[in-house]
């Protein structure tokens, strides 16, 4: 559970969301503030616990990761590439989550071909905070879908590269 720091907030460098400041650590290569990472953790806990791992979980993970690409490193390059492939196959090809997960696994086995893709200056209109604020499961699903599409579209200048990588899996 996140420990907020006495009514302080911060702006996440990855997505721009204003989130509570926390004294807990963030992720080592995902480019999110510790507060944003904590909000993401609460959303994942809700998906795993309350909603028993819904189909939208694949989109939640992929969208959060590519909205917070971090800085160029082998791990961040592989992670962002794989999750962009996940968004492509789900949103454009209509693949079910299990098939998308398999595509990401196959892509990861050939990750040496991935290169750093310069992140877009803005990475979508919604953030994990919008997902966290969903009051019902139906609203959660709708917000995740809109968030995923918005973030995917923000990477449009790299769509041809991502499609090429996905087809090579």
Residue 83 exposure: Cα atoms within 13 Å on the Cβ side: 25
Residue 2: predicted pLDDT:
46
Calpha distance 33→13 (Å, rounded): 6
Output the pLDDT for position 77.
96
Domain boundaries of the chain, sorted by first residue: 4-167
Structure tokens at 13: 């460098």
Closest CA to 64 of 97, 93, 40: 40
| pLDDT one-digit tens code per residue, 43-72 | 999 999 988 878 899 999 999 999 999 999
Which one is predicted more confidently, 27 or 83? 83
Length of the chain: 169
CA-wise closest residue to 76 among 33, 117, 121, 30: 30
Range with the lowest mean pLDDT among 12-21, 75-84, 102-111, 154-163? Answer: 102-111
Measured distance CA(78)–CA(67) in Å, rounded: 14
Cβ(24)–Cβ(47) below 8 Å: no
> Average pLDDT in the 136-164 region?
97
For residue 145, how many C-alpha atoms fall within 13 Å in the half-sphere facing its CB?
Answer: 10
Q: How far apart are CA 21 and CA 16, in angstroms?
A: 14
């Amino acid at each position: 559970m996140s420990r907020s720091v006495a009514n302080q907030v911060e702006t996440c460098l990855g997505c721009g969301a204003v989130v509570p400041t926390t004294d807990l650590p963030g992720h080592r290569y995902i480019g999110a503030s510790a507060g944003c990472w904590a909000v993401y953790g609460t959303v994942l806990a809700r998906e795993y616990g309350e909603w028993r791992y819904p189909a939208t979980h694949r989109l939640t993970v992929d969208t959060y990761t590519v909205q917070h690409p971090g800085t160029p490193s082998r791990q961040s390059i592989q992670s962002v590439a794989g999750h962009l492939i996940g968004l492509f196959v789900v949103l454009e090809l209509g693949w079910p989550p299990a098939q998308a997960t398999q595509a990401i696994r196959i892509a990861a086995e050939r990750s040496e071909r991935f290169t750093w893709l310069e992140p877009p200056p803005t990475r979508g209109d919604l953030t994990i905070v919008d997902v966290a604020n969903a009051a019902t499961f139906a609203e959660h699903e709708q917000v995740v879908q809109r968030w995923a599409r918005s973030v995917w579209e923000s990477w449009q200048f790299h769509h041809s590269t991502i499609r090429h990588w996905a087809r090579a899996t």
